[in-house]
């Protein structure tokens, strides 16, 4: 089957300065009541910019904060100022400290588990912009207009953000990363990661040849880099053909835990032969790496193979600059790219539910 490359310049995350970016003035000098943030000028420009950012958030763009500031001063404005449109719950991660902004951005990307090249940084200070461009060149740093009245219009003119949310996961993305913040905070209260995972209430729902989520599955083939054994972006039409093809089986996984939904995070496309099933594509969203979902999902594929009288799986692996996590997964579960289905056992932490035919 022919597969078309999908070229995209879209970004996942907007990283925001605070002083003179989300509000006018410097909170550490002007105080809570002295900053410009109101429905009348000059504060109205910042309210309009925040509203435009909220619209981005509602379309699935992740928001984060990167500010050189006293934490208590800044967080008080975010949480308590009556004219703040964006609240604490809208930000997936924050760095409010006196560290350099380039270091903060690297830490934010690590915390959010996204690539630096998926981030756009907004800061009114040209020195900060230049520093980030020099030290973290993967990050997009637009020239924010000198006049705050132009901020909202400038944001909407940028080519990095899709005009509409294509999938449920797009619409959920902002809240997904906020709930991930809650998970990370909760993890700190447990003595070990295993104890934390036991408390999470992890569930994996596995669907086979389900055509209702084709848009999301197609999207994942283009966006997923770190945990992707064979990155070939596919159109919705190509995904639909795989689902309908009698020689293939398409699996996807939907993950939930006690904090909420992760959405569709996993995809496998399997070529069926009489004695062996060959996994041509196996990928997983980076936001759920490190919780055993990859093995749980693989075990669901193995279970389906076994019920169809097949005892072995093989897997295609094409190395790239970014897919080291996928390489480690293949090394762990496959010897010479081949594995016995009975040896693939998920962690007892996971509840796995099959939907559809096996």
Domain membership of residue 253 (yes or no) is yes
Same domain for 233 and 150: no
* In contact, 154 and 14? CB cutoff 8 Å: no
Ranges of residues in the chain with a pLDDT under 70 are: 1-9, 162-166, 171, 336-337, 345-350, 356-358
Write down the pLDDT at residue 347: 62
Write down the pLDDT at residue 198: 86
Domain membership of residue 1 (yes or no) is no
Give me Rg for the CA atoms of the chain. 23
The CATH number given to whatever domain includes residue 93 is 3.40.50.1000
Residue 354 dihedral angles phi and psi, to the nearest 5°: -90, 140
Domain that holds residue 199: 192-355
Picking from 157, 174, 200, the residue at the C-terminal end of a domain is 157
Domain membership of residue 174 (yes or no) is no
Same domain for 242 and 121: no
* In contact, 141 and 160? CB cutoff 8 Å: no
The CATH number given to whatever domain includes residue 328 is 3.40.630.30
Query: What is the tens place of the pLDDT at every residue in 6-52?
Result: 334 689 899 999 999 999 999 999 999 999 999 888 999 999 899 98
Rounded-to-integer distance, Cα 206 and Cα 353, Å: 6
Q: Which helix (H) or strand (E) holds 267?
A: strand 260-272
Residue 340: CB atoms within 10 Å: 12
Same domain for 138 and 40: yes
Domain total of the chain: 2
Domain membership of residue 169 (yes or no) is no
């Amino acid at each position: 089957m022919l597969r078309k490359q999908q070229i995209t310049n879209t970004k996942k995350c907007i990283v925001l300065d605070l002083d003179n970016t989300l509000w006018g003035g410097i909170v550490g000098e002007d105080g809570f009541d002295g900053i410009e943030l109101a429905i009348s000028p000059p504060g109205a420009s910042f309210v309009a910019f925040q509203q435009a950012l909220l619209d981005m958030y509602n379309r699935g763009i992740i928001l984060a904060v990167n500010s050189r500031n006293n934490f208590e001063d800044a967080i008080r404005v975010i949480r308590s100022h009556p004219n703040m449109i964006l609240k604490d719950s809208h930000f997936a991660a924050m760095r409010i400290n006196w560290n350099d902004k380039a270091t903060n951005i690297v830490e934010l990307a690590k915390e959010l588990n996204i690539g630096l090249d998926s981030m756009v940084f907004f800061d009114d200070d040209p020195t900060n912009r230049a520093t980030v461009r020099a030290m973290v060149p993967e990050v997009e740093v637009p020239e924010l207009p000198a006049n705050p009245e132009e901020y909202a219009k400038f944001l909407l003119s940028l080519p990095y953000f899709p005009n509409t949310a294509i999938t449920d996961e797009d619409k959920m993305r902002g809240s997904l990363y906020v709930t991930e913040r809650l998970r990370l905070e909760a993890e700190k209260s447990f003595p070990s990661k295993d104890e934390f995972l036991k408390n999470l209430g992890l569930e994996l729902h596995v669907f086979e040849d389900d055509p209702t989520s084709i848009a999301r599955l197609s999207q994942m083939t283009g966006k997923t880099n770190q945990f992707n054994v064979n990155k070939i972006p596919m159109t919705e039409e190509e995904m639909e053909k795989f689902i309908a093809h009698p020689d293939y089986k398409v699996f996807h996984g939907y993950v939930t835990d006690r904090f909420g939904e992760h959405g569709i995070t996993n995809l496998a496309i399997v070529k069926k032969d009489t004695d062996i099933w060959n996994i041509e594509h196996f990928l997983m969203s980076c936001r759920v790496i490190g919780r055993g979902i990859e093995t749980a999902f693989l075990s669901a594929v193995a279970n389906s193979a076994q019920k169809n009288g097949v005892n072995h799986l093989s897997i295609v692996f094409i190395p790239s600059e970014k897919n080291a996590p996928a390489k480690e997964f293949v090394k762990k579960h496959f010897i010479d790219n081949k594995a016995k289905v009975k040896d693939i056992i998920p962690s007892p932490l996971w509840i796995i539910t099959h939907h559809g035919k096996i």
